Amino acid sequence: MSHTIAVDWGTTRLRAFLLDAQGAVLERVSRPEGGMQNVPVAGFGAALQEAIAPWLRADPTVPVLMAGMVGSRNGWREAPYATTPASASDLARQMIKVDRTDRGTAFIIPGVIHQEQGRFDVMRGEETLIFGCKIMDGTIVLPGTHSKWAGLHGGKITRFATYMTGELFALLRGHSILGRLALDPEDASGFDRGLAVARQSGGLSHLLFSARADVLAGAMPGEAVGPYLSGLLIGAEITGALDVFGSGNVIVVADGVLEELYGKALQAFQIKATFISPENALIQGLSQIRAEV
């Protein structure tokens, strides 16, 4: 296999990697200004060309694979979802082609759609990270704005569930009556408190209000409110996911703060976790899909 250009194109940034035949990174670029929210409807080709022009000049025939929201309805071109159970070869077979401004082509990897109990769930970009974990069977956790838990069997994504943990935290912390109580510097012990409360009965909306009631009652300082909300929401995510995926070991695609928080939370739930960085998972996943072409 020759060199490959791997592109992670999301809402807020464009990242591209020049990979050698073994999938090692030779060069990389990251462009916040290239995020989808900053690209006009007809500007995707130009934005890609600007980001990777030096690599294309060196080899105009190098394959370009793109993952993420670039294939969404608001992206360059909508890539129809692959349905579960979905393998890396299924994604490779269902990639769609777009024309580059230099008259070459690029390929968009489709997302995945899952239906269970009459409800649908979707992912775009996470499927590539999942296959980058290189397991045949098990559970993979992808923390973030919209956290994903995915189950694999026989090398195929058989089911997954999305939890709006990160988005809910941002909304509550920045735009709710609960966030107004939060003080700095933060008291990290609030995170453990939130994890413990997440396992109590009463429902999430009721447990969330306890952040206000406990402060007013003098049972929790305002400095603990932010970490408390984080622990409560992550704990609620894990509690719900365990009902779906069981309590086995997991692989978590995270680094930095999310690795620290989910490592602590999963340990509290007595779940053994192995961590892989999102960049490594992305590159390995794109390399695997490329090998299936």
pLDDT tens-digit profile of 185-219? 999 999 999 999 999 999 999 999 999 999 999 99
Q: Within this chain, do residues 269 and 182 fall inside the same structural domain, yes or no?
A: yes
**Of 89, 112, 135, the domain-final residue:** 112
Concatenated DSSP letters of 26-91: EEEEEEGGGSGGGS-TT-HHHHHHHHHHHHHHH-TT--EEEESGGGSTTSSS--PPEESSB-HHHH
Cβ contact 268:114 at 8 Å = no
Tell me phi and psi for residue 162, to 5 degrees.
-105, 140
- What three-state secondary structure class fits 124? coil
The predicted pLDDT at position 191 comes to 98
Report which residue type is found at 71: G
| Residue that finishes a domain, picked among 81, 112, 143 | 112
Last residue in a domain, options 112, 141, 157:
112
Distance CA 13, CA 18 (A): 17
Residue 175, pLDDT score: 96
Q: How many Å apart are CA 258 and CA 83, to the nearest integer?
A: 29
Burial of 216 (0-12, 13-18, 19+ CB in 10 A): exposed
If you count them, how many residues does the chain have? 293
| 8 A C-beta contact, residue 224 and residue 190 | yes
Please indicate, yes or no, whether residues 209 and 90 belong to a single structural domain of this protein.
no
137 and 76 in one domain? no
Q: For residue 220, what are its two tokens?
A: 């929790």
- For the residues of 191-257, what is the DSSP string, one character each? HHHHHHHHTSSS-HHHHHHHHHHHHHTTSS-GGGHHHHHHHHHHHHHHHHHHHHH-SS-EEEE--HH
Residue 119 lies in a domain: no
The pLDDT value recorded for residue 258 is: 98
pLDDT at 41: 81
Note whether 180 and 232 are same-domain residues. yes
Does 199 lie in the same domain as 99?
no
Question: The domain that contains 292 carries what CATH number?
Answer: 3.30.420.310
pLDDT tens for each residue of the chain, 293 residues long: 589 999 999 999 999 999 998 889 999 999 988 888 899 988 999 999 999 999 999 999 999 999 999 999 999 999 999 999 999 999 999 999 999 999 999 999 999 999 999 999 999 999 999 999 999 999 999 999 999 999 999 999 999 999 999 999 999 999 999 999 999 999 999 999 999 999 999 999 999 999 999 999 999 999 999 999 999 999 999 999 999 999 899 999 999 999 999 999 999 999 999 999 999 999 999 999 999 98
pLDDT score of 1: 53
Question: Tokens in use for 119?
Answer: 């409800």
181 part of a folded domain: yes
Domain shared by 107 and 148, yes or no: no
CA angle 28, 34, 7 (to 5 degrees): 45
Given strand 82-83, what is the order of strands in its sheet? 82-83, 112-116, 119-123
DSSP 110: -
Tell which residue, 39, 121, 49, has the closest CA to residue 74: 39
pTM summary value: 0.94
If one counts the domains in the chain, the total is 2
Host domain of residue 235: 125-293
pLDDT at residue 19, rounded to an integer: 95
CA atoms 173, 175, 181, 186: torsion sign = positive
